[in-house]
Amino acid sequence: MPGSPQLVLTVDRSGRGDHRTIQDAIDAAPADTAGGSVVVIRIKPGEEKVVVGKPRISLVGTNAGSTVVTWNESSSVVAASAASPSSTVSVLASDFIAKRLTFQNTIGSSGPAVTVRVAGDRAAFYGCRFVSSQDTLLDDTGRHYYRGCYVEGATDLICGNGKALFDKCHLHSTSPVGGAGAFTAHRRSSESEDTGFSFVGCRLTGLGVATSILGRPRGPCSRVVFALSYMSSTVSPEGWDDDCSDPAKRRCRTAFYGQYQCYGEGSKTDGRVAWSRDLSQAEAAPFITKVWVGGQEWLR
Protein backbone atom coordinates (compact mmCIF):
# COMPACT_ATOMS: atom_id res chain seq x y z
CA MET A 1 0.00 0.00 0.00
CA PRO A 2 1.15 3.61 -0.51
CA GLY A 3 3.41 4.76 2.28
CA SER A 4 4.10 1.23 3.59
CA PRO A 5 7.49 0.89 5.29
CA GLN A 6 10.12 -0.93 3.26
CA LEU A 7 13.06 -3.22 3.90
CA VAL A 8 15.45 -2.97 0.96
CA LEU A 9 17.84 -5.82 0.13
CA THR A 10 20.35 -5.89 -2.73
CA VAL A 11 21.31 -9.01 -4.69
CA ASP A 12 24.69 -8.93 -6.42
CA ARG A 13 26.38 -12.14 -7.50
CA SER A 14 29.79 -10.51 -7.24
CA GLY A 15 29.32 -10.25 -3.48
CA ARG A 16 28.90 -6.48 -3.33
CA GLY A 17 25.31 -6.64 -2.14
CA ASP A 18 23.39 -7.99 0.84
CA HIS A 19 23.00 -11.40 -0.82
CA ARG A 20 24.44 -13.26 -3.80
CA THR A 21 21.15 -14.84 -4.96
CA ILE A 22 17.52 -13.82 -5.14
CA GLN A 23 16.48 -16.92 -3.23
CA ASP A 24 18.88 -16.11 -0.39
CA ALA A 25 17.34 -12.62 -0.13
CA ILE A 26 13.79 -14.04 -0.07
CA ASP A 27 14.77 -16.61 2.55
CA ALA A 28 16.29 -13.84 4.69
CA ALA A 29 13.18 -11.64 4.47
CA PRO A 30 10.82 -11.63 7.46
CA ALA A 31 8.14 -14.29 7.16
CA ASP A 32 5.55 -12.01 8.75
CA THR A 33 5.72 -8.44 7.46
CA ALA A 34 3.85 -6.68 10.22
CA GLY A 35 1.95 -3.51 9.47
CA GLY A 36 1.87 -4.21 5.74
CA SER A 37 5.57 -3.52 5.29
CA VAL A 38 7.13 -4.48 1.95
CA VAL A 39 10.44 -6.22 1.26
CA VAL A 40 12.05 -4.72 -1.85
CA ILE A 41 14.77 -6.85 -3.44
CA ARG A 42 16.92 -5.03 -6.00
CA ILE A 43 18.57 -7.58 -8.23
CA LYS A 44 21.28 -8.07 -10.83
CA PRO A 45 20.92 -10.58 -13.71
CA GLY A 46 21.73 -14.25 -13.32
CA GLU A 47 20.73 -17.87 -13.82
CA GLU A 48 18.59 -19.01 -10.93
CA LYS A 49 15.40 -20.86 -10.03
CA VAL A 50 13.32 -18.80 -7.60
CA VAL A 51 10.35 -19.59 -5.34
CA VAL A 52 8.55 -16.69 -3.68
CA GLY A 53 6.78 -18.19 -0.69
CA LYS A 54 6.45 -15.08 1.49
CA PRO A 55 3.94 -12.22 1.09
CA ARG A 56 4.75 -8.60 0.21
CA ILE A 57 7.91 -9.34 -1.75
CA SER A 58 8.93 -6.99 -4.57
CA LEU A 59 11.61 -7.86 -7.14
CA VAL A 60 13.02 -4.79 -8.86
CA GLY A 61 15.49 -4.61 -11.75
CA THR A 62 17.26 -1.65 -13.28
CA ASN A 63 16.10 -2.32 -16.83
CA ALA A 64 14.20 -5.26 -18.32
CA GLY A 65 16.60 -5.31 -21.25
CA SER A 66 19.58 -6.01 -19.03
CA THR A 67 18.20 -7.50 -15.81
CA VAL A 68 17.42 -11.09 -16.82
CA VAL A 69 16.46 -13.94 -14.50
CA THR A 70 16.84 -17.17 -16.45
CA TRP A 71 16.47 -20.95 -16.09
CA ASN A 72 16.28 -23.89 -18.50
CA GLU A 73 13.87 -26.61 -17.48
CA SER A 74 10.84 -28.22 -19.10
CA SER A 75 7.82 -30.08 -17.75
CA SER A 76 4.19 -30.80 -18.48
CA VAL A 77 1.73 -28.01 -17.72
CA VAL A 78 -0.18 -30.41 -15.49
CA ALA A 79 2.93 -30.86 -13.40
CA ALA A 80 3.63 -27.15 -13.56
CA SER A 81 0.22 -26.38 -12.16
CA ALA A 82 0.88 -28.65 -9.21
CA ALA A 83 4.52 -28.09 -8.30
CA SER A 84 5.80 -25.84 -11.08
CA PRO A 85 9.06 -27.73 -11.65
CA SER A 86 9.85 -25.89 -14.86
CA SER A 87 9.17 -22.32 -13.76
CA THR A 88 12.08 -19.94 -13.61
CA VAL A 89 10.15 -18.08 -10.91
CA SER A 90 7.20 -19.39 -8.89
CA VAL A 91 5.09 -16.80 -7.06
CA LEU A 92 3.15 -18.67 -4.38
CA ALA A 93 2.38 -15.86 -1.91
CA SER A 94 0.18 -12.78 -2.01
CA ASP A 95 0.97 -9.11 -2.67
CA PHE A 96 3.90 -9.68 -5.02
CA ILE A 97 5.35 -7.01 -7.32
CA ALA A 98 7.93 -7.26 -10.10
CA LYS A 99 9.36 -4.30 -12.01
CA ARG A 100 11.72 -3.95 -14.95
CA LEU A 101 12.76 -7.60 -15.16
CA THR A 102 13.04 -10.22 -17.89
CA PHE A 103 12.03 -13.75 -16.94
CA GLN A 104 13.36 -16.37 -19.34
CA ASN A 105 13.28 -20.13 -19.81
CA THR A 106 15.86 -21.25 -22.36
CA ILE A 107 14.99 -24.96 -22.63
CA GLY A 108 13.79 -24.37 -26.21
CA SER A 109 10.96 -26.09 -28.05
CA SER A 110 11.34 -29.54 -26.47
CA GLY A 111 8.23 -29.00 -24.35
CA PRO A 112 6.40 -26.57 -22.04
CA ALA A 113 8.85 -24.10 -20.56
CA VAL A 114 7.23 -21.78 -18.02
CA THR A 115 9.04 -18.57 -17.14
CA VAL A 116 6.82 -17.48 -14.24
CA ARG A 117 4.04 -19.32 -12.45
CA VAL A 118 1.76 -16.86 -10.63
CA ALA A 119 -0.25 -18.70 -7.97
CA GLY A 120 -0.57 -16.05 -5.27
CA ASP A 121 -3.33 -13.47 -5.01
CA ARG A 122 -2.78 -9.77 -5.79
CA ALA A 123 0.36 -9.93 -7.95
CA ALA A 124 1.42 -7.07 -10.23
CA PHE A 125 4.06 -6.85 -12.95
CA TYR A 126 5.28 -3.55 -14.42
CA GLY A 127 7.50 -3.28 -17.49
CA CYS A 128 8.51 -6.96 -17.35
CA ARG A 129 9.36 -9.39 -20.15
CA PHE A 130 8.47 -13.10 -20.27
CA VAL A 131 10.41 -15.03 -22.94
CA SER A 132 10.10 -18.73 -23.75
CA SER A 133 8.77 -21.05 -26.45
CA GLN A 134 5.68 -22.74 -24.98
CA ASP A 135 3.40 -21.97 -22.00
CA THR A 136 5.50 -18.88 -21.37
CA LEU A 137 3.44 -17.34 -18.58
CA LEU A 138 1.44 -19.61 -16.27
CA ASP A 139 -1.16 -17.30 -14.74
CA ASP A 140 -2.33 -20.07 -12.49
CA THR A 141 -4.60 -18.84 -9.69
CA GLY A 142 -5.49 -15.53 -8.06
CA ARG A 143 -5.95 -11.94 -9.26
CA HIS A 144 -3.12 -10.40 -11.25
CA TYR A 145 -2.25 -7.20 -13.10
CA TYR A 146 0.29 -6.72 -15.90
CA ARG A 147 1.17 -3.22 -17.15
CA GLY A 148 3.43 -2.52 -20.11
CA CYS A 149 4.75 -6.10 -20.22
CA TYR A 150 6.04 -8.20 -23.13
CA VAL A 151 5.20 -11.92 -23.54
CA GLU A 152 6.86 -14.06 -26.23
CA GLY A 153 6.37 -17.69 -27.26
CA ALA A 154 5.34 -20.04 -30.03
CA THR A 155 2.10 -21.33 -28.49
CA ASP A 156 -0.06 -20.89 -25.40
CA LEU A 157 1.86 -17.76 -24.45
CA ILE A 158 -0.42 -17.17 -21.46
CA CYS A 159 -2.13 -20.14 -19.81
CA GLY A 160 -3.67 -21.11 -16.48
CA ASN A 161 -6.86 -20.32 -14.59
CA GLY A 162 -6.08 -16.96 -13.03
CA LYS A 163 -8.07 -13.75 -13.24
CA ALA A 164 -5.77 -11.29 -14.96
CA LEU A 165 -5.80 -7.87 -16.60
CA PHE A 166 -3.15 -7.19 -19.23
CA ASP A 167 -2.91 -3.41 -19.64
CA LYS A 168 -1.01 -2.06 -22.65
CA CYS A 169 1.03 -5.23 -23.04
CA HIS A 170 2.73 -6.68 -26.14
CA LEU A 171 2.18 -10.33 -27.07
CA HIS A 172 4.54 -11.69 -29.73
CA SER A 173 4.06 -15.11 -31.32
CA THR A 174 7.12 -16.93 -32.65
CA SER A 175 4.95 -19.64 -34.23
CA PRO A 176 6.20 -20.22 -37.80
CA VAL A 177 4.10 -20.10 -40.94
CA GLY A 178 2.07 -23.29 -40.96
CA GLY A 179 2.42 -23.57 -37.20
CA ALA A 180 -0.30 -23.88 -34.59
CA GLY A 181 0.28 -20.93 -32.35
CA ALA A 182 -2.16 -19.68 -29.73
CA PHE A 183 -1.83 -16.51 -27.69
CA THR A 184 -3.88 -17.86 -24.78
CA ALA A 185 -5.04 -21.15 -23.28
CA HIS A 186 -7.31 -20.36 -20.36
CA ARG A 187 -8.33 -23.19 -18.02
CA ARG A 188 -11.77 -22.47 -16.52
CA SER A 189 -13.79 -25.57 -15.75
CA SER A 190 -17.16 -24.09 -14.76
CA GLU A 191 -19.11 -20.87 -15.00
CA SER A 192 -19.04 -20.58 -11.20
CA GLU A 193 -15.29 -19.85 -11.33
CA ASP A 194 -14.63 -16.10 -11.34
CA THR A 195 -11.57 -16.26 -13.60
CA GLY A 196 -10.52 -15.11 -17.05
CA PHE A 197 -7.96 -13.13 -19.04
CA SER A 198 -8.66 -9.59 -20.22
CA PHE A 199 -6.39 -7.69 -22.62
CA VAL A 200 -6.89 -3.94 -22.94
CA GLY A 201 -4.90 -1.64 -25.23
CA CYS A 202 -2.50 -4.44 -26.12
CA ARG A 203 -0.49 -5.30 -29.26
CA LEU A 204 -0.45 -8.74 -30.90
CA THR A 205 2.34 -9.43 -33.38
CA GLY A 206 4.13 -12.46 -34.84
CA LEU A 207 6.51 -13.92 -37.38
CA GLY A 208 4.08 -14.42 -40.24
CA VAL A 209 0.54 -14.16 -41.59
CA ALA A 210 -2.21 -16.22 -39.89
CA THR A 211 0.17 -18.21 -37.71
CA SER A 212 -1.69 -17.90 -34.40
CA ILE A 213 -5.17 -17.90 -32.95
CA LEU A 214 -6.26 -15.65 -30.09
CA GLY A 215 -6.99 -18.58 -27.81
CA ARG A 216 -7.93 -22.19 -27.34
CA PRO A 217 -10.01 -23.59 -24.49
CA ARG A 218 -7.89 -25.58 -22.08
CA GLY A 219 -11.02 -25.76 -19.92
CA PRO A 220 -14.67 -26.06 -21.03
CA CYS A 221 -15.60 -22.58 -19.74
CA SER A 222 -12.46 -20.76 -20.85
CA ARG A 223 -12.95 -16.96 -20.76
CA VAL A 224 -10.82 -14.45 -22.70
CA VAL A 225 -11.56 -10.91 -23.92
CA PHE A 226 -9.49 -8.60 -26.13
CA ALA A 227 -10.50 -4.93 -26.09
CA LEU A 228 -9.16 -1.81 -27.80
CA SER A 229 -6.15 -3.81 -28.97
CA TYR A 230 -4.07 -3.92 -32.15
CA MET A 231 -4.03 -7.28 -33.92
CA SER A 232 -1.56 -7.77 -36.75
CA SER A 233 -2.09 -10.19 -39.63
CA THR A 234 -0.45 -12.92 -37.55
CA VAL A 235 -3.91 -13.50 -35.98
CA SER A 236 -5.74 -16.16 -37.96
CA PRO A 237 -9.12 -15.11 -39.43
CA GLU A 238 -11.06 -17.69 -37.36
CA GLY A 239 -9.62 -16.09 -34.24
CA TRP A 240 -10.27 -18.93 -31.82
CA ASP A 241 -9.88 -22.71 -31.72
CA ASP A 242 -13.17 -24.21 -32.86
CA ASP A 243 -12.92 -27.23 -30.55
CA CYS A 244 -16.20 -28.81 -31.59
CA SER A 245 -14.91 -31.87 -33.41
CA ASP A 246 -14.76 -33.96 -30.24
CA PRO A 247 -18.34 -34.70 -29.04
CA ALA A 248 -17.02 -35.30 -25.52
CA LYS A 249 -15.74 -31.74 -25.26
CA ARG A 250 -17.99 -29.34 -27.16
CA ARG A 251 -16.04 -26.56 -25.48
CA CYS A 252 -17.17 -24.00 -27.99
CA ARG A 253 -20.65 -24.11 -26.46
CA THR A 254 -19.50 -22.96 -23.03
CA ALA A 255 -16.35 -20.88 -23.68
CA PHE A 256 -16.63 -17.08 -23.54
CA TYR A 257 -14.37 -15.57 -26.20
CA GLY A 258 -14.90 -12.00 -27.30
CA GLN A 259 -13.37 -8.82 -28.63
CA TYR A 260 -14.32 -5.17 -28.41
CA GLN A 261 -13.25 -2.35 -30.72
CA CYS A 262 -9.98 -3.95 -31.75
CA TYR A 263 -8.15 -2.83 -34.88
CA GLY A 264 -5.55 -4.01 -37.37
CA GLU A 265 -5.62 -6.65 -40.11
CA GLY A 266 -6.07 -9.50 -37.64
CA SER A 267 -9.03 -7.93 -35.85
CA LYS A 268 -11.62 -8.48 -38.58
CA THR A 269 -14.55 -10.46 -37.20
CA ASP A 270 -16.23 -11.61 -40.42
CA GLY A 271 -14.15 -14.81 -40.50
CA ARG A 272 -14.36 -15.62 -36.79
CA VAL A 273 -15.74 -18.92 -35.45
CA ALA A 274 -19.51 -18.71 -35.16
CA TRP A 275 -19.59 -18.85 -31.36
CA SER A 276 -17.13 -16.03 -30.65
CA ARG A 277 -18.54 -12.67 -29.54
CA ASP A 278 -18.23 -9.17 -30.92
CA LEU A 279 -18.94 -7.35 -27.67
CA SER A 280 -21.02 -4.24 -27.17
CA GLN A 281 -19.77 -1.48 -24.87
CA ALA A 282 -22.03 -2.73 -22.08
CA GLU A 283 -20.81 -6.32 -22.50
CA ALA A 284 -17.15 -5.25 -22.54
CA ALA A 285 -17.41 -2.85 -19.57
CA PRO A 286 -16.79 -5.43 -16.77
CA PHE A 287 -13.53 -6.54 -18.41
CA ILE A 288 -11.72 -3.32 -19.33
CA THR A 289 -10.83 -1.55 -16.07
CA LYS A 290 -8.86 -2.49 -12.95
CA VAL A 291 -12.17 -3.36 -11.32
CA TRP A 292 -11.94 -6.64 -13.28
CA VAL A 293 -9.24 -7.81 -10.82
CA GLY A 294 -10.44 -5.74 -7.85
CA GLY A 295 -7.42 -3.55 -8.43
CA GLN A 296 -8.98 -0.45 -6.92
CA GLU A 297 -8.56 -2.20 -3.56
CA TRP A 298 -5.00 -3.52 -3.77
CA LEU A 299 -2.95 -2.05 -6.64
CA ARG A 300 -0.42 0.44 -5.35
Of the residues 95, 121, 135, 140, only one is catalytic, namely 135
Q: How far is the CA of 270 from the CAs of 87, 237, 246, 256, in angstroms?
A: 38, 8, 25, 18
242 is catalytic: no
Of the residues 139, 156, 241, 243, only one is catalytic, namely 156
Are 99 and 115 a contacting pair, CB within 8 Å? no
167 is catalytic: no
User: Which residues belong to the active site?
Assistant: 135, 156
